[in-house]
Homo-oligomer: A and B are copies of this chain.
């Protein structure tokens, strides 16, 4: 393989993991570059993503792309095997709609529910649960959002599939449970046990330990929603 395929990520970033997962699902070999998101950003990260200065950055034959959903679209277009977006234009639009809903509404609401001041929590949890209920409706009895296979929305919602449950475990705040969101919980189980997902996720213990560090930072007032 003479072509250059590089991912600049951070091991615990669900957004960087989206890119890694898409490449692995397609069997595209890549080089992974770990960034230190708490320390100094590397000169290459700043060069390739000067607007947001964030991971993930995807580099293909010298050309950089930022924004994880934009990268997923690019990967799906360049490497055709194991498509992650449906071929039908309306189904494709529907997948894009839900991925956008996840990023615009679900992620901020979930994040706020965990890291807001205590006196705002009840309302924040209510809003997050409203978003999760809407997200769950998109499953509509399917195994994955993408149907029988993992697709664009499954990859986009990976935070709910893995990270959310590890944060629930550490904080004790349960947003997704068998009682509240049985279909979403079942999807999450299916997602994390998928062979390609499983082998690319961070080690669970390492993630739990990282969450404890985040909780300590939150309690020290260093992190705010």
A contact patch SS:
helix
Interface contact A74-B90, CB-CB below 8 Å: yes
Interface contact B96-A66, CB-CB below 8 Å: no
Number of interface residues of A (CB under 8 A): 23
Given A67-B100, A100-B67; A73-B93 close (CB under 8 Å): yes
Given A51-B134, A101-B51; A89-B67 close (CB under 8 Å): no
Measured between beta carbons, the chain B residues less than 8 angstroms from A65 are 90, 93-94, 97
The complex is assembled from copies of this chain, and their number is: 2
Q: A172 CB to closest chain B CB, in angstroms?
A: 30
Interface contact B92-A77, CB-CB below 8 Å: yes
Q: Judge if A216 is at the interface, Cβ distance under 8 Å.
A: no
Interface contact B74-A78, CB-CB below 8 Å: no
Footprint of B on A, CB under 8 Å? 51, 60, 63, 65-67, 69-71, 73-74, 77-78, 89-90, 92-94, 96-97, 100-101, 134
Q: Which 4 A-B pairs have the closest CB atoms?
A: A74-B93, A65-B93, A70-B96, A77-B89
